[in-house]
Amino acid sequence: MLSKIGRSLKSAVAAVICTAMAGSGFAASAKPAPAPAAEVAVSIDLAHPGPRIEPAVHGQFAEHLGRGVYDGIWVGPDSSIPNTKGYRNDVLAALKKLHVPVLRWPGGCFADEYDWRDGIGPRAQRPKRLNASWGGLDDNSFGTNEFMDFAELIGSEAYLSGNMGSMEPRAMNQWIEYISSGSHSTLADQRRANGRDKPWHVRYLGMGNETWGCGGNLDAAASAVMHRRYQTFIRPPSENGPLTKVASGGSGDEYQYTETLMKDAGKFVDAISLHYYTFSGDWSNKGRALGFSPADWARQVSRARNLDQYLTGHTKVLDKYDPEKRVGLYVDEWGNWYDGDPADSHGALYQQNTMLDAVTAATTLNIFHRHSDRVRLAAIAQMVNVLQAMILTDGPRMVTTPTYHVFDMYQPFMGATPYPLTLQLPTFEIGGATVPTVDGSAARGADGKLWLALVNADPEHAVRVRLADKGSAVGRILTANRMDAHNTFDQPNAVVPQPYSQRSGKDGLVLTLPAKSVVVVQLDMAGAAH
Ligand code: AHR
């Protein structure tokens, strides 16, 4: 639990004056301007470990939208872009490095118009369908076999988003049978004829998407009835193993929606989803991916932080109906959403990804780690070329984004045991938004090591974070001079992690965080063994 003891940066600066970079151990290529740094005391409560951080909270989402799947992941085996069985080699390699724990597909809004039967069999014979949600034609060349193979190739669990909006439950159940039956049913044999003998495993099945909107325009009570009906008829073959059925839930702070779903259908579901997108403006004027102001930055960070209190609110409702904590809360769409640039030809919902995205991504992962009792899966929107993407492509070129690097740096937290972190927080104030300067997360990794992640969200000032104990910190830092610093196809390494290390002096271990930075370190502290 973070203790939010806000004090103005001014008084904090008066208390401790030092130079941001003095004594910091990160590489010379990350060179933000020196600035006075506030000081923050941090302590890690090793005596009270929390529930395991499920690796799946570092999951991703890929939809048939813009160039998210076609071009971004799939170019087909005949493409001149180097590929393995149709999947781009560059994207495959980048994703393998991240160890993506779970991948949600094929939507989004697209899921509720998708018929899986269109996407199996010889590709040349598959029907071409209009993508009613996002425009264009879908030739169905990326279908079930292609998705399941892809998930297997990158070592990810499959999270199928089922069509509850316009498909009968029988057909949804048959999808699972086609994929995972080891029998000789007609569907299982069809899978074999389509090139896959061994059954795959489907770990998660979503029941519809945003049923309150593009998934059917239902109210929560009507949606609950649908969930009861569909969950009844989804009976996966025993060879599939456990299948987690996820009811499409509300968004943001819609606690009443969660309340109605839990009251009317809670017994029938294994998890309820929640969607949360962040903008500095509103739905009609979301804000810009590049060239934004410090006030936009502050609002974006502040709104990303709101998810913390929303998760607390939804957890309260879930605790009322499910005190045993059986039902998970899955934030299966989240991220920054900016206004598109009409002149950009990179496809629907394509946006650049900057240091601001890195800061909010790291903050959001910290929030998930604090809610590990309920939040057992999350999926950033989206994987490639869409919204807050990990990867951007342009023809044969590919670039990884600052958000990708945050996910990479945070890998030690997958499957880790979190510890409560107490931070005395200065705040920064820009354009009317008052934002805590530092956010963090501490955990014992599956590797047995103690890990600490820290974010300095202040775009203008460095901060010093002090741990009382003696020891050392070794890891990486992501930072840049400009708020909207980003990687381009011509300059793919403008924002990449740099080595970072600190050793304690007489005052304990002090980590200097430059303005707008994310640091993940392994701590070696006196008295911090397990
Ligand atoms: O991620 C883009 C869209 O945002 C999804 O299709 C939908 O579920 C949400 O509104």
> What pLDDT, in 10s, does the model give residues 44-66?
999 999 999 999 999 999 999 99
Closest to 301 measured CA to CA, from 401, 438, 408, 418: 438
Q: Does the beta carbon of 63 lie inside 6 Å of ligand 1?
A: yes
Inform me whether the pLDDT recorded for 3 exceeds 70.
no
Query: Cα(54)–Cα(74) distance, rounded to whole angstroms?
Result: 28
DSSP-assigned beta bridge partners for residue 473: 502, 523
Q: Does the beta carbon of 381 lie inside 6 Å of ligand 1?
A: yes
- Looking at the domain assignment, is residue 472 inside a domain? yes
- DSSP string of 247-290? E---BTT-HHHHHHHHHHHGGG-SEEEEEEEE-SSBTTB---SS
Among residues 350, 384, 417, the one where a domain terminates is: 417
Confidence of residue 12 (pLDDT cuts 50, 70, 90): very low
**In terms of domains, do 337 and 479 share one?**
no
* Whether residue 324 lies in the annotated active site: no
Going by alpha carbons, the residue nearest to atom 7 of ligand 1 is 108
Lowest mean pLDDT among 297-301, 351-355, 468-472: 468-472
Inform me whether the pLDDT recorded for 142 exceeds 90.
yes
- Looking at the domain assignment, is residue 13 inside a domain? yes
For the chain, state the CA radius of gyration: 23
The one-character DSSP state at 127 is P
pLDDT digits (tens, 9 = 90+) for 325-349: 999 999 999 999 999 877 788 889 9
The arithmetic mean of pLDDT across residues 65-93, rounded, is 98
Going by alpha carbons, the residue nearest to atom 6 of ligand 1 is 108
Inform me whether the pLDDT recorded for 435 exceeds 80.
yes
Inform me whether the pLDDT recorded for 246 exceeds 60.
yes
Q: Spell out the residues 6+ positions from residue 417 whose beta carbon is closer than 8 angstroms to its own.
A: 49, 50, 52, 53, 443, 444
Number of domains in the chain: 2
Instruction: Please give the number of the atom of ligand 1 that sits closest to the Cα of 209.
Output: 8
Q: Which CATH number is 252's domain given?
A: 3.20.20.80
Among residues 387, 417, 447, the one where a domain terminates is: 417
Lowest mean pLDDT among 8-12, 128-132, 173-177, 189-193: 8-12
How many other CB atoms sit within 10 Å of the CB of residue 264?
Answer: 17
**In terms of domains, do 183 and 128 share one?**
yes
What is the pLDDT, as a whole number, of residue 18? 29
Among residues 370, 396, 417, the one where a domain terminates is: 417
Q: Does the beta carbon of 107 lie inside 6 Å of ligand 1?
A: yes
Lowest mean pLDDT among 28-42, 369-383, 467-481: 28-42
The arithmetic mean of pLDDT across residues 251-263, rounded, is 97
Confidence of residue 360 (pLDDT cuts 50, 70, 90): very high
From the CA of 443, how far away is ligand 1's center (Å)? 32
From the CA of 214, how far away is ligand 1's center (Å)? 9
Confidence of residue 22 (pLDDT cuts 50, 70, 90): very low
**In terms of domains, do 91 and 33 share one?**
no
Q: Spell out the residues 6+ positions from residue 79 whose beta carbon is closer than 8 angstroms to its own.
A: 86
Q: Which CATH number is 455's domain given?
A: 2.60.40.1180
pLDDT over 70 for what percent of the chain?
A: 92
Inform me whether the pLDDT recorded for 292 exceeds 50.
yes
- Looking at the domain assignment, is residue 412 inside a domain? yes
* Whether residue 39 lies in the annotated active site: no
Q: What's the whole-number average pLDDT of the chain? A: 92
Q: What are phi and psi of 381, to 5 degrees?
A: -105, 115
Q: Does the beta carbon of 418 lie inside 6 Å of ligand 1?
A: no
**In terms of domains, do 382 and 520 share one?**
no
The arithmetic mean of pLDDT across residues 128-144, rounded, is 97
Instruction: Please give the number of the atom of ligand 1 that sits closest to the Cα of 387.
Output: 1
Confidence of residue 8 (pLDDT cuts 50, 70, 90): very low
DSSP-assigned beta bridge partners for residue 137: 130
Q: Does the beta carbon of 332 lie inside 6 Å of ligand 1?
A: no
Query: Cα(85)–Cα(471) distance, rounded to whole angstroms?
Result: 49
**In terms of domains, do 219 and 307 share one?**
yes
Catalytic residue, from 39, 63, 157, 333: name it.
333
The arithmetic mean of pLDDT across residues 108-116, rounded, is 98
- DSSP string of 145-163? HHHHHHHHHHT-EEEEEE-
**In terms of domains, do 401 and 430 share one?**
no
Inform me whether the pLDDT recorded for 135 exceeds 50.
yes
Question: Scanning the structure block, which residue is given the tokens 């701590």?
Answer: 523
- Looking at the domain assignment, is residue 29 inside a domain? yes
Which residue type does 352 have? Q
What is the pLDDT, as a whole number, of residue 1? 35
**In terms of domains, do 75 and 197 share one?**
yes
Inform me whether the pLDDT recorded for 477 exceeds 80.
yes
Range of the domain at 115: 55-417
Q: Does the beta carbon of 210 lie inside 6 Å of ligand 1?
A: yes
Catalytic residue, from 63, 177, 210, 259: name it.
210
The arithmetic mean of pLDDT across residues 409-419, rounded, is 98
From the CA of 163, how far away is ligand 1's center (Å)? 14
Inform me whether the pLDDT recorded for 126 exceeds 80.
yes
Instruction: Please give the number of the atom of ligand 1 that sits closest to the Cα of 107.
Output: 6
Tell me the best of 60, 64, 113, 209 to mutate to test the pocket of ligand 1, counting ligand atoms within 8 Å of each CB and taking the most: 209
**In terms of domains, do 409 and 434 share one?**
no
Inform me whether the pLDDT recorded for 207 exceeds 60.
yes
**In terms of domains, do 231 and 321 share one?**
yes
Instruction: Give the CA angle between residues 372, 5, 297 to the nearest 5°.
Output: 75
Strands of the 417-419 sheet, one edge to the other = 417-419, 438-444, 450-456, 517-525, 471-479, 498-503
What is the pLDDT, as a whole number, of residue 525? 85
DSSP-assigned beta bridge partners for residue 159: 104, 204
Which residue type does 328 have? G
Instruction: Please give the number of the atom of ligand 1 that sits closest to the Cα of 109.
Output: 6
Confidence of residue 528 (pLDDT cuts 50, 70, 90): low
Indicate the pTM of the whole model. 0.93
What is the pLDDT, as a whole number, of residue 34? 53
**In terms of domains, do 383 and 459 share one?**
no
From the CA of 108, how far away is ligand 1's center (Å)? 5
**In terms of domains, do 20 and 61 share one?**
no
- Looking at the domain assignment, is residue 530 inside a domain? no
- Looking at the domain assignment, is residue 269 inside a domain? yes
**In terms of domains, do 67 and 37 share one?**
no
What is the pLDDT, as a whole number, of residue 474? 98
Q: Does the beta carbon of 109 lie inside 6 Å of ligand 1?
A: yes
Tell me the best of 207, 248, 275, 386 to mutate to test the pocket of ligand 1, counting ligand atoms within 8 Å of each CB and taking the most: 275
What is the pLDDT, as a whole number, of residue 434? 95
The arithmetic mean of pLDDT across residues 260-264, rounded, is 98
